[in-house]
Copies of this chain bind each other. A is one copy, B any other.
Amino acid sequence: PDPQAAEAARRRQARLTKPAGSLGELESLAIRLAGLQGRECPRLERCHVSVFAADHGIAASGVSAYPQAVTAQMILNFAAGGAAVSVLARHSGAAFEVINLGTVEPLPPTAGVLDRSLAPGSADFSQGAAMTQDQLEAALAVGAERVESAADAGSDLFIAGEMGIGNTSAASALGAALLGCPPAQLLGRGTGVDAAGLARKEACIRRALELHAEAGDELELLRRLGGFEIAAMSGACLRAGQLGLPLLVDGFIVTAAALLAVRLQPSLARWLFFAHCSAEPGHRLLLEALNARPLLNLDMRLGEGSGAVLAWPLLQSACRLHSEMATFDEAGVSEPPADSDPCRP
């Protein structure tokens, strides 16, 4: 981050043909991005979307309304362009890829799907650790690899999406452990489980939190309670912070992965932007823990990165307004007297 570039951007905002402050959040975003990119006029024109997918052993406990086969089926749907995030990415002009970290149903090699399978899903965290140490490290490395690849391709924004039947349970367990709150405060109905299913989900997560109560640091929590795609996304956040690539955080699952990464490396928080507040009750709590100000609040709860791909044009618009609007001088527009505007520095 470059405070001089941010200051230059702040001065530029005051010269643009509009009342000072009248673009609200869009002004703050442009100034913040100027500081991050180290230039007065930041650019966000090349967005990269990686959807990380994996199965979860916890799904065997009946925590989801959908069968586990859906994870593999949805990977094919992502690649074929039929999923929500695929439709949004196609129209937004973002680069789009799907990464398979391991599904119960085996998948043939498929165009548009990177095979990074670690196992046919993680283990059931209500019985033991979700991952081995090797699997955890491999999953973190997959996330880092995709961020490096996006940065090498000249991307200026990274979006991580996810898919994995059972992963709201894993994210809720992780979130409860990180926030030190009862899991009931975070639990929603995920993909649409009924009341009995919700009670089962809560009991299962409570048992798991007791089982793993002695887990020491955040990485160990991630190994025990996470999942392959969640660990990959934490790895993506960590690498984005190291490389200085802004990352737009999507929904509940991604935010849990991001919070874990921020606990490991607090300085990466400055690279995170937040797309939306979802209808999953736990999401708001995780966002608060990250001091996040999400851009949208449309009651979405789909995941996949869909909320982030929907929101990134707002970030892009903030940059375009900042760069392309005329200044008062350029347009020959009269400014108000300096003392009449309480917002003007």
Q: Can you name 17 A-B pairs with beta carbons within 8 Å?
A: A17-B82, A18-B83, A21-B301, A22-B300, A23-B306, A24-B279, A24-B300, A26-B300, A74-B333, A77-B333, A84-B325, A87-B324, A91-B317, A189-B342, A192-B344, A296-B296, A298-B314
Chain A interface, number of residues (Cβ within 8 angstroms): 69
A80 to B325, CA, bound (A): 10
Q: What's the minimum C-beta distance from A151 to chain B, rounded to whole angstroms?
A: 25
The 4 closest A-B pairs by CB, nearest first: A82-B326, A24-B299, A65-B336, A192-B341
A191 to B18, CA, bound (A): 8
Identify the closest chain B residue to A280 (Cβ).
Answer: B22
A9-48 interface with B by 8 A CB criterion:
16-26
The A contact surface, by secondary structure, is: loop
Q: Which of B83, B91, B344 contacts A325 (CB 8 A)?
A: B83
A23 to B299, CA, bound (A): 7
Q: What's the minimum C-beta distance from A101 to chain B, rounded to whole angstroms?
A: 19
Identify the closest chain B residue to A192 (Cβ).
Answer: B341
Q: What's the minimum C-beta distance from A319 to chain B, rounded to whole angstroms?
A: 10
A330 to B279, CA, bound (A): 27
Identify the closest chain B residue to A83 (Cβ).
Answer: B17
Q: Mark A246-276, 1 if CB is under 8 A from B, else 0.
A: 0000000000000000000000000000000
Contact A84 B18 (CB under 8 A): yes
A302 interface residue, CB < 8 Å from B?
yes
A194 interface residue, CB < 8 Å from B?
yes
A106 interface residue, CB < 8 Å from B?
no
Identify the closest chain B residue to A323 (Cβ).
Answer: B87
A313-344 interface with B by 8 A CB criterion:
313-314, 317, 320-321, 324-326, 330-337, 339-344
Q: How many copies does the complex hold?
A: 2
A76 interface residue, CB < 8 Å from B?
yes
A280-311 interface with B by 8 A CB criterion:
295-302, 306, 310
Q: Which of B20, B65, B298 contacts A295 (CB 8 A)?
A: B298
Q: Which of B76, B83, B324 contacts A332 (CB 8 A)?
A: B76
Not counting A87-B320, A197-B340, a sample of 8 additional A-B residue pairs whose C-beta atoms are within 8 angstroms of each other reads A23-B306, A24-B298, A65-B340, A76-B332, A77-B326, A81-B326, A82-B326, A296-B296
Task: Note all chain B residues with C-beta closer than 8 A to A195.
Answer: 342
A3 interface residue, CB < 8 Å from B?
no
A70 interface residue, CB < 8 Å from B?
yes
Q: A66-B334, A87-B321, A333-B74 are contacts. A26–B298 as well, Cβ < 8 Å?
A: yes
Q: A73-B332, A317-B310, A334-B73 are contacts. A80–B326 as well, Cβ < 8 Å?
A: yes
A344 to B66, CA, bound (A): 13
Contact B22 A301 (CB under 8 A): yes
A114 interface residue, CB < 8 Å from B?
no
Q: What's the minimum C-beta distance from A332 to chain B, rounded to whole angstroms?
A: 6
